[in-house]
Amino acid sequence: MAIELFSVGTELVLGQIQDTNAHWIAQQILQNGGELRRVTMLRDDFDEMTEAISSAIQRETALILTTGGLGPTPDDMTVAVIASLIGTKPIVSNETVAEYKKRREMPEDDILNEALTKMATIPETAQVYQNPAGWAPCISVEYKMSTIMMMPGPPREMKAIFDAYIQPLIIDRYRDEISTARVYVSMFEAEVSPLMQKVMERYPDVYLKAYVSLRNTEGNSMPIDFVSTSSESQETEEQLKSSIDFFRELVLEAGKSFSYDE
């Protein structure tokens, strides 16, 4: 039931714009019980996009999310890539056209301009979910074992679409409970890594991450996050507490200090 995220945009790969979308989406997936397996940035290149997303499908990724490439310019090609990949053709969504005309208070017989027409184009077999904060809609297709959901790139629009359509889907599919905690140890990364590995071997549903860059050199204190996942809230809390207790024992046995704000 893994999730993969593809951030589309040459400007992201070149470092001209920071990919804040991926950071925010990763946080939301974790908080809603999902499992994000991979995050990939892609240039606006038809072949490269096709190869990368095709690989995710071959990995039987349950949910494939994309951001970007749904705008009106020539380098916006996410719809064309997905349509080609799943063996269908791009068509203009009548539902989206009607929505555009309604929002612009246009007569029904008026013709949309080229830019809006492109943003209303979807793969023929897709479902479309209207954008509550902009123009390009959220587009969803089912292909083999994967659900592919395309979101626009502007952060405000992406967040509105994620909250409206992606978040409920993740909650419905995964339903995992997440509990997190942060502890502090007076150890270096090389010292603490074997202890972290022991904890994760005993508690495979608990993930530990040490933040070396946040280490307090004066107090020799390094933060370590615990992330516990389970289908039951009580079980999540119990394994979080048990894993922290076990880790505390290991740290104290090593003669180091341990602190935790319970």
Pull the structure tokens for residue 160. Answer: 């509105």
User: Which pLDDT does position 221 carry in this prediction?
Assistant: 86
Pull the structure tokens for residue 247. Answer: 């880790």
Backbone dihedral region of 69: left (phi > 0), alpha (psi from -120 to 50 degrees) or beta? Answer: left
Helices (runs of H) and strands (runs of E) counted in the chain? 10, 12
Q: What is the reported pTM? A: 0.78
Flag the least confident range among 3-12, 57-66, 216-225, 229-238.
216-225
pLDDT of 220 strictly over 70: no
User: Across all residues in the chain, what is the average pLDDT?
Assistant: 93
- Are 198 and 253 spatial neighbours (Cβ–Cβ below 8 Å)? no
Report how far residue 176's alpha carbon sits from residue 163's, in angstroms, rounded to the nearest whole number.
Answer: 18
* 234 class by beta-carbon count within 10 Å (0-12 exposed, 13-18 middle, 19+ buried): exposed
Burial pattern 22-52, b for ≥16 Cβ within 10 A else e, equals beebeebbbebbbebeebbbbebbeeebbeb
Closest CA to 52 of 103, 4, 118: 4
For the chain, give the percent of residues with pLDDT over 90: 78
